[in-house]
Amino acid sequence: MIAQETIDKVFDYARVEEVIGEFVQLKKTGANYKGLSPFSEENTPSFVVSPVKGIWKDFSTGKGGNSVTFLMESEHLSYPEAIKYLAKKYNIEIEETKQSQEQIESNNKKENLYLVSEFAKKYFNKILLEDKEGMDIGLSYFKERGFTQQTIDAYELGYSPNKWTALTDAAVKGKWNEKHLIEVGLTIAKEEKRFDRFKGRVMFPIHSMSGRVLGFGGRILANNTKAAKYLNSPESEIYHKSNILYGLFQAKQTIAKEDNCYLVEGYTDVLALHQAGIKNVVSSSGTALTDPQIRLINRLTNNITVLYDGDAAGVRASIRGVDLILAQDMRVRVLTFPDGDDPDSFSKKVSKQELKDYLDNNSQDFINFKASLLLNEAKNDPVKKANLIKEIVVSISKIPNTIQREVYIKQCSSVMDISENVLFTELEKIVNRDIKDYQKKEATMPMDVVPMEYQEQPKSPLYIHERKLLSYLLLYGNEEVVFKDFISEKNKDGEVELKEQKYKSTVIREIYLQLQDDEMEFSDDLFQSIYVEIMKPLIQGEDFDEKKLTNNSDIEIAKEVSSIILEDEKHIISDWGRKEVMVPDKKKNLNVLVMDIILSLRMILISLKIKEISKDLVNNDIEGGIMATMEVIRDYTELKKNISNKLGRTI
């Protein structure tokens, strides 16, 4: 168990914009940052980070929190793993206290799968660097391919011994659960037999964006025509190959810095380019490019350069990926290497500067690339040429931005020597057809799987008012305000009048006293927990510090408080300031707003009480008789009327 002192130090050192900036491309907007949500598909930024408050909020999904909760939400880390990740990032020594047996047993299954994968990575790496077989075969292979020790260390490469149960035996000896080895695909079980999946292969650990080991790729070295040259981990609870890019963990910072990502096909392509100084490179690991993989890149940059081998057939088969990239409103360029070369072989033939120059000077816009590729196939055949023009227009139709589509249509018209009107007509046909196909598909989907954007479920007035009251406490708790209240007094004629009274108090103190008078607790359990935490400093005679809540060890409290605080700054994502739309300053009317929410809350509670008593009256479930109950209802109604008068409303 991590010592509280270490946790406190992590929160002191961690800068939320630095942490999230490794996973999401952020752009400064005033005192805050914004970017595309890493949790939903969107083209307009709705993700806001506040460095001053140390929190973030995703308006597309409603999620929010601090640096730790971001890692938990985005990278699926446990709380301890997120703390350890940040401790490592900021060079903080981790102090741990001994876990009880109960705490050890409470570790969830998914966490155990991550841990056993981490064990396997270290085992393979140790075999490669220290075991005779590993050095003679595995390390020799990497050295022969020209990879340095620095590259081997950066990607944590390894070797799996050419023995049937080497890894399995080592894991079981180390008290790792054999069941978990089987679940992540490191061990294969056939009836009573157990054997290693990656026997006799050099190993490429596949990391998440935060560096956790999710799975492995293994290349066979023996001349075995029956075995696959490359073998990947099977799908598991932690490894989904369509959601992962090899090398993203090592490349993410350079991708964000260079504002471009090079996309290649194989593991060794990534290693070779990285070693040659091109560090913003990732691979789809030999699988067809998918939407989730593109979204991972889109979190860091809007620019992708796809690097293809010189093999024309392979390029033709892979070009579908370009359309997927365009569909996510990203800019894509394409580059091919000379025939017979791939990124790995080409990078070893030229100097680092020559490689960089080649990449800078030979990438093409996707239209020019696709046109040259398809024109070469069409030759002088008019029918084939017509089909290739249609293919290019199909690609353009994937672009969500209508202005960009028009620019590309004009470019296509020039390159293909065909009128813009014809191309626009074809584009309209394709777009309309796609819309109809989607509507048809959506109509046949079960209701629970129809894709829809996040919409918060309607909340009760009580929930809304309780949350609003918390927002005033969190945002303005320490503000001193001149409050107005109205006291009921009888005049000479015996009529009740409201007399105004003014007094100074902090927002937090005023709300506390008002709720104490009503002996009121929040109906929502989470809100009540937050309220108790807010009031602790007041009771102890201290100022309220919101960071004690945004960094709270209770994750639900930290997430909800962060979400409430940043919700008040929703205008950031719409750039209202730039559009000269003034955001009202709530501090000027804080006394009115606070009293209004307290009185409104009382009104709601009284209305609910009247409703409850009336229901009991109808069901004859009352004590004290009908007349007494009616008197209680009249008293509550009179109280409600008085509150309404204070609010200046009529009921």
How confident is the model at residue 452, as a pLDDT?
42
Q: Count CA atoms closer than 13 A to 534's CA, side-chain side.
A: 25
Answer whether residue 631 is part of any domain: yes
Q: Does 417 share its domain with 472?
A: no
Q: Is 149 helix (H, G, I), strand (E, B) or coil?
A: helix
Distance of CA 402 to the CA centre of its chain: 27
Q: Does 303 share its domain with 348?
A: yes
Rounded average pLDDT over 560-567: 87
Q: Does 256 share its domain with 375?
A: yes
Answer whether residue 450 is part of any domain: no
- Tens of pLDDT, residue by residue over 308-346, are 876 655 566 567 778 888 888 889 998 988 877 889 999
Rounded average pLDDT over 358-364: 91
Mean pLDDT for all residues in the chain? 83
Q: Which of 102, 127, 160 is the last residue of a domain?
A: 102
Q: Does 153 share its domain with 184?
A: yes
Rounded average pLDDT over 28-43: 85
What is the C-alpha to C-alpha distance for residues 203 and 120, in angstroms, rounded to an integer?
A: 10
CATH number at residue 169: 3.90.980.10
Query: Does residue 146 surpass a pLDDT of 80?
Result: yes
- How many structural domains compose the chain? 4
**Higher-confidence residue: 112 or 416?**
112
What is the C-alpha to C-alpha distance for residues 149 and 120, in angstroms, rounded to an integer?
A: 20
Cβ atoms of residues 51 and 15 within 8 Å: yes
- Tens of pLDDT, residue by residue over 272-291, are 999 999 999 999 876 788 88
Q: Which of 102, 134, 165 is the last residue of a domain?
A: 102
> Residue 449: CB partners within 8 Å, gap ≥ 6?
none
The domain containing residue 296 runs over which residues? Answer: 248-425
Answer whether residue 455 is part of any domain: no
Alpha-helix runs per DSSP H in 477-622: 507-517, 525-539, 547-550, 555-567, 590-618
What is the C-alpha to C-alpha distance for residues 548 and 216, in angstroms, rounded to an integer?
A: 40
Query: Does residue 262 surpass a pLDDT of 50?
Result: yes
Q: Does 55 share its domain with 133?
A: no
How confident is the model at residue 440, as a pLDDT?
65
Query: Does residue 648 surpass a pLDDT of 60?
Result: yes
Answer whether residue 432 is part of any domain: no
Q: Does 126 share its domain with 78?
A: no
What is the C-alpha to C-alpha distance for residues 464 and 524, in angstroms, rounded to an integer?
A: 11
Answer whether residue 217 is part of any domain: yes
365 phi, psi to nearest 5 deg: -60, 150
**Residue 161 region, left (φ>0) first, then alpha (ψ -120 to 50), else beta?**
beta
Answer whether residue 554 is part of any domain: yes
Q: Which of 221, 239, 257 is the last residue of a domain?
A: 239
**Higher-confidence residue: 374 or 460?**
460
CATH number at residue 82: 3.90.580.10
CATH number at residue 269: 3.40.1360.10
Q: Does 523 share its domain with 637?
A: yes
Q: Does 390 share its domain with 294?
A: yes
pTM of the model: 0.70
- pLDDT class of 354 with cuts at 50, 70, 90: very high
Q: Does 256 share its domain with 234?
A: no
Answer whether residue 179 is part of any domain: yes
Rg (CA), the chain: 32
Q: Does 13 share its domain with 135?
A: no
What is the C-alpha to C-alpha distance for residues 258 and 253, in angstroms, rounded to an integer?
A: 9
**How long a stretch of residues is the chain?**
651
Query: Does residue 214 surpass a pLDDT of 90?
Result: yes
How confident is the model at residue 453, as a pLDDT?
43
Q: Does 96 share its domain with 112?
A: no
The 3-class SS string of 301-333 reads: CCEEEEEECCCHHHHHHHCHHHHHHHHCCCEEE
- Tens of pLDDT, residue by residue over 490-501, are 777 777 676 777
Q: Does 404 share its domain with 548?
A: no
Answer whether residue 434 is part of any domain: no
